[in-house]
Structure 1
Amino acid sequence: MKSYRKELWFTVPSRRGFLNITRDAQASLDASGIREGLCLVNAMHITASVFINDDESGLHHDYEVWLEKLAPHEPVSGYRHNVGEDNADAHMKRQIMGREVVVAVTEGRLDLGTWEQIFYGEFDGRRKKRVLVKIIGE
């Protein structure tokens, strides 16, 4: 069995945003030479997420509204974690959206469903953060 590790780096210029990273994950798979196995993609920061869903702007807007209702940024003073910080909501949003995804690798391709894409979700942006791609297989 072979393994491959790649770090992807992203800087989202706003506080929150979603980036489609499916091509980045597939490029990592291509570089690995692995044809059958599993591909793990995970956020390496506690205020960011990796998830799978549809690449549709209305859905992304709905996520933004929904997440803000569940864990609003303001008032910052409403969170105990925010003593000296202002990102408690980002930690909670990450918890909801998840840390990582695992995708089957079949014949050298990410074995995603018809509309499935891999996304990086940023909830406390404006600085460089990384995503780990770890692929194992043959």
Structure 2
Amino acid sequence: MLKRISVKTSKRDEMIDITSDVRSAVHEANVKQGTVMVYSAHTTAGVTINENADPDVKHDMLMRLNEVYPWEHPKYQHAEGNSASHLKTSTVGASQMIIIEEGKLILGTWQGVYFCEFDGPRDRTVYIKVMEG
């Protein structure tokens, strides 16, 4: 089953918890054993798994990515002016694969699935592919 969700971002850089959307897709697919792929079809937005209990983790991750990849740099050549967002996306990655066991996502106690916006605000699309097996 393939599910498409819309994500509306409100900042240039932000991490949005989409764990409940992924869980809903698994539930709708009624898959008891398998995997789920969460994929961002954007070159300036990614998907990651990280802590979802303390909001400071999101802050710290975005802060460090901005330090490593500043929005402006004198040697960037990309004409659109969003080179930092492309670099951040390649670092974070465009997708995550999660195991499904007994109809539930296998995530650690503090883990959540995040859509990572690096060039917002925008209207984005995330694909969730639930696979049995």
TM value normalised by structure 1: 0.91
- Displacement of 1:78 in angstroms is 3.2
Match of 1:103 in 2: 98
The alignment yields a C-alpha RMSD, in angstroms, of: 1.1
| Cα distance in 2 for residues equivalent to 1:21 and 1:132 | 11
| Cα distance in 2 for residues equivalent to 1:73 and 1:100 | 23
| Cα distance in 1 for residues equivalent to 2:72 and 2:48 | 25
| Cα distance in 1 for residues equivalent to 2:110 and 2:8 | 25
- Displacement of 1:62 in angstroms is 0.9
- Displacement of 1:22 in angstroms is 0.4
Pair 1:119 & 2:117 matched: no
| Superposed CA offset, 1:12-65 (max 9, x none) | 111111100000000011111111100000111110010001012111111111
5+ unaligned residues in a row in structure 1: which ranges?
Answer: none
Counting aligned pairs with the same residue, the percent is 30
Match of 1:130 in 2: 125
Please tell me whether the aligned partners of residues 48 and 120 of structure 1 are also in contact (alpha carbons under 8 angstroms).
yes
**How many positions carry a matched residue from both structures?**
132
Pair 1:36 & 2:33 matched: yes
5+ unaligned residues in a row in structure 2: which ranges?
Answer: none
Whichever residue aligns with residue 136 of structure 1, its letter is M
SS in 1 for 2:88: helix
SS in 2 for 1:118: strand
TM value normalised by structure 2: 0.94
Please tell me whether the aligned partners of residues 67 and 93 of structure 1 are also in contact (alpha carbons under 8 angstroms).
yes
Q: 2:89 aligns with which of 91, 94, 97?
A: 94
Equivalent residue runs for 1:1-20 within 5 Å: 4-20=1-17
Please tell me whether the aligned partners of residues 11 and 125 of structure 1 are also in contact (alpha carbons under 8 angstroms).
no
| Cα distance in 1 for residues equivalent to 2:77 and 2:115 | 27
